[in-house]
Structure 1
Amino acid sequence: MSYKKYYQGFLTANAKVQHFACHSHHYWPDVTRAAALQYWDDSARLVDDKWDYIFGEKVPKVQKQIAGILKLQKPEQLVFAPNTHELLFRLLSCFDWNKPVRILTTDSEFHSFSRQIKRLAELPQIELVQVQTLPFADFTTRFAEAAKKLQPDLVFCSQVFFNSGLAIADLTAFVTSIAAVCQATIAIDGYHGFMALPTNLSELEGRIFYLAGSYKYAQGGEGCCFMLVPQNNGLRPLYTGWFAEFGTLAAAKTSQVQYSKDGYQFAGATMDFSALYRLEAVLDLYHAEGISVAKVHQHVQQLQQAFLAELKAQQHPLLNEQKLLCADLQNHGHFFTFMLDDAAKVAELSAYLKQHGIHTDYRGDRLRFGFALYHDASDYDLSCLSLRRGE
């Protein structure tokens, strides 16, 4: 089945492009344009009263939509922010940095975390341990062993690693193995898993923080990220905004700063909610058309197989299955990563592909190809690679 009819705006604007950078910059369905205009119209119609409308109707609706996708029972424990870095830093601000803080993570976290945590690790009281994700076959075992040894205050790990596409096959078992050996606060970066891999957090609700957003596979564009917050966690973010007072504004004032009793305990301040409108429109579209995450995943798996067949036909010395980082195609992110020996060659190859209308992206020695609902396998054409077989 072709799903292109939902993406005519972006596809028409990029008619001569094979867009394999969708794991980074995903095309938006056409319904998001009307949603953006609706945000303008609602702002004009309601002016200051729009906040009551947004928090009274829009936010609860999208919370329920996300909760349905992730199999959550308490949608009110989801909090929104413009980016995951803001949510991450709010979580980090719960720890007392005047005392030793031990943090366990990996060497493959996205920049919103890795840059910030490396900067914090310059402080003498921050102890940072990064477990290598490769070799991946024993990663989860090695990570649990590191947790037992370090006894961290915070554990932060991705569901799908952005620089490889490698995915933790059983997230519940992974979290359980960590919780069995330490008492850490556990946070999972789900950005490359949400709306890509079927994800059931029902057994993890109340146990983990889970961060994701709409920029990638949720297809709503930038500006709408969210975090699942465990209920009754007892934390008091130092980095906090007035949205976090919702639910307490009518209470008797005390000298201590009060926090909302739900996920908005971790809220910030005034933000542009047009992205939430776009995300709502995408999720409405999926519901109306019967498009589940499982169907998206199945479609992408078929695309990945077609891509590998096309790649095999080219017999390229660098882009081939031997260079592909993959442990299990049935439990893999929606992009492929080829790890080469030379970062300069990767940059050159990506540029060459772009000259031939094939858009990819790369990080150091890794070249990435993403797959999306708006792809048809019949469109794949990598014949330009045959011109470079001898290089």
Structure 2
Amino acid sequence: MYKHLYQRFLKANPAQLHFACHSHHYWPDVTRDAQLQYWDDTTKYVDGKWEHIFSVKVPQGQKLIAEVLNLSDPEQIVFAPNTHEFVFRLLSSLDWGNKIRVLTTDSEFYSFDRQINRLSELPQFEVVKVPTQPFDSFHERFEQAMEAADWNLIFVSHVFFNSGLVCDVERLVKDAPSECPFIIDGYHSFMAVPLNLKPIQDKAFYLGGSYKYAQGGEGCCFLYVPPATRHRPMYTGWFAELSKLSAIGDEVGYPVDALQYAGSTMDFTALYRLIATLEKFKDEGLTVTKIHQIVQQNQQLFLEELEKANHPLVNRGSLLVSDLKNHGHFLTFDLPSTEATSDLVKKMKTRGLYTDSRGSRLRFGFGLYHDAADIKAAVGKI
């Protein structure tokens, strides 16, 4: 139905069935023009490029993202090249001279999990990870953990990257202690699973980016900062000097808006691509709700075709999360071993079917460039 948005990628890969779009999504054609526009603006503005970017392009991007998440204050969104930069900046806003207690899960993406694992080697860091499985009791167990101790930072994904489970982040944020920063990792849900942040916009930070379902490619991530936040991240950069500061003498001042979490020089090409994609989706009437409905229909068809195929490994019995109403845009199958999963991924690739895996978990991602014929063909190549 929406293949016309992706003609360049589809024509460049005519023999490929790309079902790894949760890992690297095809980009809409409009992103090529956006990439060239960044070059043209650079030649036009030269030294005035930063003024143009921060007065025109950044507000455009902030407004589009705020509309998707139903946020009241677009200026509370700040950009960086990757989420890890924000993760460490958030951690650097804590008092490392005292005990730091972090509550999270065992299913967070590597940008956070690797960093927090390294920090847990330090004596002042205590990290508690709540297992996401069994899924049926996850929310209750996480709430119990929040109540069991005082925390300095809470971090949880909206959609868990290794299962597809959708977390009820609104419920968790409302039950969380108000004095503790609560960070939602929305990278595997932004522009995929509908989320209304307005009820929790005064309490929750939100991390997202353009690489996956926002389809703008790598290099443009963002952080929503609650308006009352007054932090002084130790890891800071010159972009934080761009708005009015309260510095006195040599004091390091910080903005009162989202730029308190700003870093330094970055290539804003990806922001141009993200803006172009979000504007194109608006023109096409593609809201997150509509995109989600289309993908859910394709997932249901995929499972129906799987039942007919009766595959010994990839079937409803190995499907990790079966409730499509509370599911991200990829289906995860837990196979008997990492070796079996890796072998199957390689075999499917030789047949033109591209997926990806994490350990023993095989993932099939679904996008707007898939139709019924693609789904049936994909099942036939497993």
Pick the TM interval, shorter chain. Answer: over 0.9
> Retained in 1: the 8 A contact 2:331–2:363?
yes
Counterpart Cα distance in 1 of 2:68 and 2:43: 32
Counterpart of 1:345, as a letter, is A
> Retained in 1: the 8 A contact 2:341–2:362?
yes
> Retained in 2: the 8 A contact 1:136–1:327?
no
Partner of 2:176: 178
1:273-304 Cα distance to aligned partner (Å, 9 max, x none): 00000000001101111111111001000100
Aligned pairs (5 A) from 1:224-263: 224-248=220-244, 253-263=248-258
Aligned pairs (5 A) from 1:104-183: 104-168=103-167, 170-179=168-177, 183=179
1:359-385 Cα distance to aligned partner (Å, 9 max, x none): 010011100000001111222212234
> Retained in 2: the 8 A contact 1:165–1:333?
yes
Counterpart Cα distance in 1 of 2:368 and 2:149: 42
1:206: how far off?
Answer: 1.8
**Alignment root-mean-square deviation, CA:** 1.2
Counterpart of 1:239, as a letter, is Y
Matched, 1:339 2:338: no
Partner of 2:292: 297
> Retained in 1: the 8 A contact 2:319–2:333?
yes
Unaligned runs of 5+ in 2: none
1:144-171 Cα distance to aligned partner (Å, 9 max, x none): 1111113211100000000010111x32
> Retained in 1: the 8 A contact 2:27–2:215?
yes
1:153-206 Cα distance to aligned partner (Å, 9 max, x none): 1100000000010111x3211211223xx7421001000111001110001112
1:79: how far off?
Answer: 0.4
Q: Percent same amino acid among aligned pairs?
A: 56
Which of 206, 225, 234 is the matching residue for 1:210?
206
1:217-251 Cα distance to aligned partner (Å, 9 max, x none): 000000000000011222100000010112126x7
Partner of 1:103: 102
Which of 316, 319, 344 is the matching residue for 1:321?
316
> Retained in 2: the 8 A contact 1:166–1:327?
no
1:329-352 Cα distance to aligned partner (Å, 9 max, x none): 112100000012211100001111
Counterpart Cα distance in 1 of 2:317 and 2:372: 22
Instruction: Give the TM-score normalised by structure 2.
Output: 0.97
Counterpart Cα distance in 1 of 2:380 and 2:49: 52
Which of 354, 363, 370 is the matching residue for 2:365?
370
Partner of 1:49: 48
Partner of 2:348: 353
Counterpart of 2:338, as a letter, is A
> Retained in 2: the 8 A contact 1:151–1:183?
no
Partner of 2:270: 275
Unaligned runs of 5+ in 1: 386-391
Partner of 2:302: 307
> Retained in 2: the 8 A contact 1:157–1:187?
yes
Counterpart Cα distance in 1 of 2:347 and 2:149: 45
Instruction: Give the TM-score normalised by structure 1.
Output: 0.95
Counterpart of 2:61, as a letter, is V
